[in-house]
Structure 1
Amino acid sequence: MKTFKLNPYRIGYRTMKTAFGMAIAVMIAKQLGVVNFSSAAILVVLCVKNTKMKSMHAAWSRFASCLIGLLLASFIFEMLDYNPVVLGLVVLFFIPLTVVIGTQEGVITACVIILHCFNSKGITLDFILNEILLIIVGLSIALVLNLYMPNRQNELENFKTTIEQEFQVILSEFSEALKYVNIHLDYKIVDQALLTIEKAKSVAFMDVENHFVRNENSYYHYFNMRAKQALLLHRMVDLINDVSRTDTLHRELSDLIHEMSLNVSSYDHTAVRLHDLYAIQLAMKDHELPVNFETLHSRASAFQLLRELEQYLLIKSKFGSLKK
């Protein structure tokens, strides 16, 4: 028999804002004498988003859709009749119209207003003003609540630290794999770092959308830089597995990657590591030439590995430092 497992849940700031906003919106709408005052809570639920930008966009879409739905429904119901067939006709015209003007996000909210029109059995100026006031109350409460967003600085810094630690582990394992023939690398260790980076980029992007006067985030650029490096690390896995441990070059590569693992978070040692890398490339001409296919394949993998490591270091050197 299949068992169901309850998912753990923690009440977050968005949940608390939604609950508080619904209560406040209903109380204010009721105090203002708005008919159907409880519908103000629906607007709050739909407009409290996880970023300020999304909240503003949601509020605008719903305001425009509700206003269009109100005017369209008032006109059609008065011209034809207040019956279910006409209700369907209103929605049939209304939804394509919102798609054309780009406010389809507010369709559900506007349908509530359209149903208010349908239930009224008669549109008056007071009814229209009542619905507009209802819309304004709900949207205003949601926007005011969304003025507060938590500071994600610590979260972003924690992601940065975690990613650097994961990179350090990856490079350390690369170095060890180049020393010992019994170590065979797989992609899992790099895949975990890529997953962490994607989560970090998502948080950094939300931080951008919480600032109206800033359209970029230095942490986002930093995580994007690490994503490019992680893709290079992913390609290095097979190259390291193909480097023969009988070739003396493997020791030099191991030492270089070991030094890189010690300075993942530093920007001062990138130039030094590039110098060491170029020294290895220049010294390759003094190594014995491959004598068979196996040694040729190993030398080619080692050469390609140096090219990938060079790109890895150049990406970091072009980024510079993280501006907080």
Structure 2
Amino acid sequence: MKTIKLNPYRIGYRTLKTAFGMAIAVIIAKYLGVVNFSSAAILVVLCIKNTKMKSVQAAWARLISCLLGLIFASAIFELLGYYPLVLGLVVLLFIPTTVVLGTQEGVVTACVIILHCFNSKGVSAGFILNETLLIIVGLSIALVLNLYMPNRAKELDLFRTKIEQEFQVIMSEFSEALKYVDIELDHKLIDQALLTIEKAKSVAFMDVENHFVRNQNSYYHYFDMRSKQARLLHRMVDLINDVSRSEQLHLQLSELIHEMGQNISSNDHTAIRLHDLYAIQLEMREHPLPDNYEALHSRASAFQLLRELEAYLIIKSKFGSLRK
């Protein structure tokens, strides 16, 4: 018998806000005497998002769509009658209009208002006031609850630490591979680092959308910088595998990469490492030319490796330091 594996789950801020908001919206709508007061909960569910910016955009789209749906339904039902075919006609005309206006995200919510209108069998000032209050209560509760978002600074800092640790391990592997001929590098560690970076960038982007007066995040730029470096590390793997261990050059490269790995988080040593790198480049130019294909291929790989390491260091020097 096959065992069913359940996915682990913990109740987060969004779930708590949704549950609390639904209850509050229903209580307030009922207290105000709104007919179909339970529909206010639907608005709350659809407008609670994982960032403040998305919540405002969702609320705006639903406000426009609901008001538009109310106007469409009231006019067409009063003109043609309250019949199922007319209901289909209302939706047929309404949905393309929301697409043109860019508020199609609110179609589902607006359809609830349209159905209220259909079931009313008659539009009055009281009905329009009732539906307007329903919309305002639901959207307002969602927006107020979304004013609070958890501080992601600690989470972002943990991502930064993890990425730097992964880079240190990669650099250590590179350094060891340049010393011992029996070590063959692969891309697994770098692929893992790239995955961590993408997750970190996603969290940093959400943090940007939680600030209405700020459209950038230094953490996001930091993770983007690491992403560029990781792609360079990805290219270095094959180059290191091609460098011969039969000449002194491979030990100099190993020591340079070891020093870079020891100072992943600091920008103070970038200029020193660049100086060491240029010194190795000058020394390589003074070496006699290789006399066979294998040695020539190794020397070319070593030159290209130095270029990739130079680009890696320059990326870091241009970024500077992380401003928290």
Bin of the TM-score, shorter chain as denominator length: over 0.9
Matched residue count: 324
Distance 2:262 2:194 in 1: 20
Alpha-carbon distance, 1:81 to partner = 1.6
How many percent identity over aligned positions?
80
Alpha-carbon distance, 1:70 to partner = 0.6
Distance 1:42 1:154 in 2: 33
Alpha-carbon distance, 1:289 to partner = 1.5
Distance 1:123 1:100 in 2: 26
Distance 2:248 2:298 in 1: 11
Q: Which residue of 2 aligns with 1:29?
A: 29
Distance 1:46 1:40 in 2: 10
Q: Which residue of 1 aligns with 2:147?
A: 147
1:61 paired to 2:64: no
Q: Which residue of 2 aligns with 1:157?
A: 157
Distance 2:88 2:183 in 1: 68
Q: Which moved more, 1:284-293 or 1:125-134?
A: 284-293
Alpha-carbon distance, 1:62 to partner = 0.2
Q: Which residue of 2 aligns with 1:225?
A: 225
TM-score using structure 1 length: 0.99
Alpha-carbon distance, 1:2 to partner = 4.4
Distance 1:258 1:193 in 2: 18
Letter in 2 for 1:194: L
Q: Which residue of 1 aligns with 2:38?
A: 38
Structure 1 residue ranges without an equivalent (≥5) = none
Q: Which residue of 1 aligns with 2:52?
A: 52
Alpha-carbon distance, 1:248 to partner = 2.0
Give the alignment of 1:251-290 within 5 angstroms: 251-290=251-290
Alpha-carbon distance, 1:5 to partner = 1.1
1:75 paired to 2:75: yes
Q: SS at the partner of 1:288? A: coil
RMSD (CA atoms): 0.7
Q: Which residue of 2 aligns with 1:183?
A: 183
1:295 paired to 2:295: yes
Distance 1:248 1:88 in 2: 80
Distance 1:197 1:48 in 2: 27
TM-score using structure 2 length: 0.99
Alpha-carbon distance, 1:125 to partner = 1.0
Q: Which residue of 2 aligns with 1:210?
A: 210
Distance 2:161 2:42 in 1: 40
Distance 2:285 2:313 in 1: 23
Q: Which residue of 1 aligns with 2:102?
A: 102
Alpha-carbon distance, 1:82 to partner = 1.1
